[in-house]
Amino acid sequence: EAAAEVKPAAETLKYVVNNGGEFTLTKDIEVNESLEATTANDIVINGNGKTIKVMKKGTGRFIDVKSDANGANLTLKNLTIENNVSWIERIVNYNTNGNLTLENVKIVNAEGCSNNYAINLPAYSDNAKVVIKDSEIWAGANALNLWGEKTTANITNSKLYVVDSNATEGY
């Protein structure tokens, strides 16, 4: 009987984001591509105190919950997301109308790296609910950007930092 093939953690994480489900880190991992959710299935990423290092080349989004996901809930907990790309547009792009929860999450940039928007809720995020608890969010221009109508944010015991000196942005 052949041994079951073990998928690398980054590949399993990509599968869970694409299809829904729960993923728990057992060690720090590096991810070099975008993770896109296009189904309405809920996604839970439990960092278990570990780090996902974003190594994606070029611009774009790291975790991208598309409008096709139509109400999928995204939960990130006990996790550090470390951007190791000189510039990336968004770390979490949540473009749907469900619940986005970050609990005990750090979004940070490695030295010489920057994210433009750490957490972005664009046009299709009407009525979305954002909960950020016990977290630390670092961004170049926008730590939390809410575009959707009637989108709410409940932020407790957390710090949101913007390091860009551009006074016209920096929400």
Determine the pLDDT at residue 165.
Answer: 59
Q: What's the pLDDT at 170?
A: 46
Q: How far apart are CA 130 and CA 136, in angstroms?
A: 15
3-class DSSP string for 32-70: CCCEEECCCCCEEEEEEEEEEEECCCCCCEEEEECHHHC
Predicted pLDDT of residue 124: 93
pLDDT in tens, the chain (171 residues): 444 455 689 999 999 999 999 999 999 999 999 999 999 999 999 999 999 999 977 668 999 999 999 999 999 999 999 999 988 999 999 999 999 999 999 999 999 898 999 999 999 999 999 999 999 999 988 999 999 899 999 999 999 999 875 555 544
Q: What is the pLDDT of residues 28-67, one digit of tens each?
A: 999 999 999 999 999 999 999 999 999 977 668 999 999 9
Its sign, for the CA torsion 155, 158, 164, 165, is positive
Q: Which residues are bridge partners to 66 per DSSP?
A: none
